[in-house]
Amino acid sequence: MQKKFKNLAEFLKKNYGNATKIVEVGVGSERYVLNELKMSTGCEVVGVDIKGGEGLVRDDVLSPSLEIYRNADLIYALRPPPELYPALISLAARVNADLIIRPMSTDPPPEGMKLVNYRGEFFYIKKRSP
């Protein structure tokens, strides 16, 4: 496993380990962070993918089922296509959750989100409304 995902998992555990619910969007086949959170936090951790899959909830963030995301403290996505950024930002705002997007290094940054560098790993965060 690449170090960057270990560092991101560490950041999430440190900052959201006591959350009620965390949702990863677009899990696909890379499940390291999802599995780390499931094994080492006491919160509900939900994996969502448009194709579904073993242990995943099937949903499309372009037309989301809000019930899946309700009560989430954090929604995050690893390397989502930039065309999904607006849908992710809107979804997080609709359910009042923090949002973390970890884009591919060649993708543009999501607008309106704060850049975070944690131990050499970069990602963007948007905190929910108080």
What are the φ and ψ backbone dihedral angles of 16, each rounded to 5 degrees?
Answer: -130, 15
Percentage of the chain exceeding pLDDT 70 = 97
Specify which of 25-29, 31-35, 96-100 reaches the highest per-range mean pLDDT. Answer: 96-100
More confident residue, 1 or 46: 46
Which residues, in sequence order, are CB contacts of 27 under 8 Å at separation 6+? 34, 47, 48, 49, 53, 56
Identify the pLDDT of residue 1.
Answer: 44
CB 78 within 8 A of CB 37: no
pLDDT at 66 over 90: yes
What is the Cα–Cα distance from 98 to 100, expressed in whole angstroms?
A: 7
In order of start, what are the domains of the chain with their CATH numbers? 3-126 (3.40.50.150)
- Model pLDDT, residue 12: 97
Provide the 3-class DSSP secondary structure of residue 1: coil
pTM for the predicted model, two decimal places: 0.94
Say whether pLDDT at 2 is over 80: no
The whole-number average pLDDT for the span 60-78 is 97
pLDDT by residue (tens digit) across 7-16? 999 999 999 9
